[in-house]
Chains A and B, each alone.
Chain A
């Protein structure tokens, strides 16, 4: 007979019945304890499904000030072993975001660790708007523009945010008053 059964009897700690997945519990904990800055807004298409939501970032300084950028978050049951899947919803002109909405942020891929949480990702995304990084480009033209002529890049950002075209590519209007 298996000895631990007797040990268990003596110990008698409470039963644990986790019907809710570990990923769900982590997300509930992450989300309800977030202290969102004024520049961030979250919304859930379905409040009963915490694992899928949108985050809108409206930078209040930097080159992207005045714009409002919506990201979709999809968290699977393997969170936090796997990072959340994040995409930028509108088509934007940014060195680290491509035209399909893929985002180049290290902690969303190669530097993700289970000890990180949603807050780390959100802060990371906000940082991309304050300091676009021309060294790790996803949109090569935008990165090239930023490197070669900062003033011109800022003009392009403003034109793109208003729904105009840059380098022959038309972008979505993301100005805050547009909402």
Chain B
């Protein structure tokens, strides 16, 4: 194709292959949900708004896959800038892009190559955006590299679900890779298992026993951990926090680790290993990213068009010995701190005290919580135990709720009789 036609709109036959599955149902299509032809095409191409979180290894595969599948209103958010070490697998970036924001460079590249697609970048943290921002999307796909960010977006999306507004439920498709292993999963917040429900099964970072680090180092990694875990806080105390992204800090650690390695005749401490150990970097494999991103975008396409039932609900990929994949359904955890537990809305007198609320919770027929402890995200309203916390929060018992908790704020109630917690939202009359 010549450059001239690339710059214009759709080329002939552009959607030929996608239309095969949009125009008529397949063997596994749900006939009640699928409306083929123009309806499916129109929703996918003109209405559906999708957000990609992360423009790194996975993001650079997700974006072109989405654009070429016919999604035309794509947004991307990423807080990083391009490093030269990204270029071996983040194929939307070139050497000239080093130092530029990933989201912006990725968006430009996809728009240049796939005419008619709008990719809107945001260079920043997902935490910078509020519910209003996330509300505008139909589907959210994440290609994140941290557990913390996953937990944050998961809790945000679960929190956005409003029973009176079905569209407030945003499907989250989460992809992840670690070397030759990966997963993609579909989360329907409040309906299927969320990130927090399955937190126990996440791979944990490699850590070495502190005594080994302190006394009997045998590997270069032990020397590096010694420098970052023991030496840094010993030398700098609280005055200077270790910043894993600061090259000068890494250099300092590298120098300390090298000295220690020499002392114990250990070889192999290098600057890049030092960076790898402190940032817990696992070498990324381009083909793992490609497989996981393909699966994730396939799920997005299925959700947007109902052309086929979505993944139920977790696909794991193990590429370490051959290529193995297995799909299974994660179940929701009743005691999940994010999507588990009931939310109770209650209207109370504006003069009600904390003490009266506690009595009310203990006595009300369908609640009946023994010894509840109450808090908001910023205030411990009343804690039943241990004695020191009980004493510290006891003065609140006499206070009016309306003075401690603004109307509509969520109160977290825990008690030994509850699986985990109950959420309480008060309005005052």
Contacts and interface: CB of A to CB of B under 8 A. Distances in A.
Interface of A: 1-9, 11-22, 24-26, 28-29, 31-34, 36, 41-44, 47-48, 50, 77-78, 80-81, 96, 98, 100, 102-104, 106, 108-110, 112-115, 136-138, 140
Contacts of B409: 19
A77 B338 CA distance: 13
Given A3-B33, A12-B163, A22 B337 contact: yes
Contacts of B233: 100
B70 to A, nearest CB: 15
* Top 5 A-B residue pairs of the complex, sorted by shortest distance between their CB atoms: A47-B392, A5-B166, A3-B33, A136-B211, A22-B337
Given A32-B373, A47-B380, A4 B410 contact: no
Contact of B151 (A15, A22, A109): A22
Contacts of B209: 104, 106, 109-110, 136
Nearest to B341: A16
A114 B196 CA distance: 11
Interface string B393-429: 1000000000000000110101110001101010000
Interface residues of B, number: 73
B377 to A, nearest CB: 4
Interface in B18-75: 30, 33, 35, 39, 43
B352 interface: no
Given A13-B190, A16-B190, A22-B338, 5 more contacts: A11-B191, A17-B343, A32-B384, A44-B392, A102-B229
A2 B30 CA distance: 12
Contact of A8 (B191, B208, B377): B191
A25 B171 contact: no
A29 B392 CA distance: 17
B279 to A, nearest CB: 15
Interface of B: 30, 33, 35, 39, 43, 138-139, 147-148, 151, 155, 158-159, 161-163, 166-167, 169, 171, 188, 190-191, 196, 199-200, 202, 204, 207-211, 214-215, 229-230, 233-234, 303-304, 306, 337-339, 341-343, 373, 375-380, 383-386, 388-389, 392-393, 409-410, 412, 414-416, 420-421, 423, 425
Contacts of B423: 16-18
A16 B43 CA distance: 28
Contacts of A33: 385, 414, 416
B155 A22 contact: yes
B191 A25 contact: no
B199 A81 contact: yes
A47 B191 contact: no
A146 to B, nearest CB: 14
Indicate the member of B341, B373, B380 with the most A CB atoms within 10 Å.
B380
A50 B30 CA distance: 49
Contacts of A113: 200, 204
B190 to A, nearest CB: 6
Contact of A15 (B161, B200, B208, B378): B161
A22 B151 CA distance: 9
A41 B388 CA distance: 8
Contact of A43 (B138, B303, B383, B388): B388
Given A24-B375, A28-B373, A16 B343 contact: yes
Contacts of A43: 388
Given A18-B338, A28-B375, A48-B380, A114 B200 contact: yes
Contact of A19 (B202, B339, B410): B410
Contacts of A11: 191
A20 B375 contact: yes
B214 A25 contact: no
B155 to A, nearest CB: 6
Contacts of B379: 48
Nearest to A49: B380
B18 to A, nearest CB: 17
A6 B32 CA distance: 11
B191 A34 contact: no
